Amino acid sequence: MHDMKNQSFAARLRAALAGLAHAAAGEKSLRTQLLAFAGALAALAYWRPAPVWWALVLLASGAVLAAELMNTALEKLADLLHPEQHAQVRILKDCAAAAVLVLSLAALAVAAALAYELWRAH
């Protein structure tokens, strides 16, 4: 068994980046969220809002990406432990997907508030 607790920071970082790469390669929704994050970064760089807006957008974006990764991990684990169709596993997966949806809507609310602030300032 591979115990990450006793590994160096560099080894844990490599494992985390490998997980991100694996999830991005296999999950279209994560790739979509990463593209949205890149767009958000480009918008921040272009409009250069106050630092608090950078923090809010980065926090919201990070939360969405983290939720996508947790959703992917939970789905993979559920499929491994219970490969056949099961109503409870479906509910579990739907709840994880709902968490991503809720955070995505919250991130969109941050984007809308920033857009309003930028519009109001000009």
Q: What are the boundaries of each domain within the chain?
A: 28-121
pLDDT of residue 2: 60
Mean pLDDT of the chain: 95
CATH code, residues 28-121:
1.10.287.3610
Is the predicted pLDDT of residue 1 greater than 70, yes or no? no
pLDDT of residue 122: 84
Q: Is 2 helix (H, G, I), strand (E, B) or coil?
A: coil
Give the residue-averaged pLDDT of 17-46.
Answer: 96
Is the predicted pLDDT of residue 30 greater than 70, yes or no? yes
Give the residue-averaged pLDDT of 21-48.
Answer: 96
Q: For the segment 79-109, what is each residue's pLDDT rounded down to a tens digit?
A: 999 999 999 999 999 999 999 999 999 999 9
pLDDT of residue 84: 93
pLDDT of residue 6: 87
Give the predicted TM-score (pTM) of the model.
0.90
Q: Rounded to whole angstroms, how far apart are CA atoms 74 and 30?
A: 14
| CA-wise closest residue to 36 among 58, 53, 69, 52 | 58
Exposure letters 91-122 (e unless 16+ CB within 10 A, then b):
ebeeebbebbeebbeebeebbeebeeeeeeee
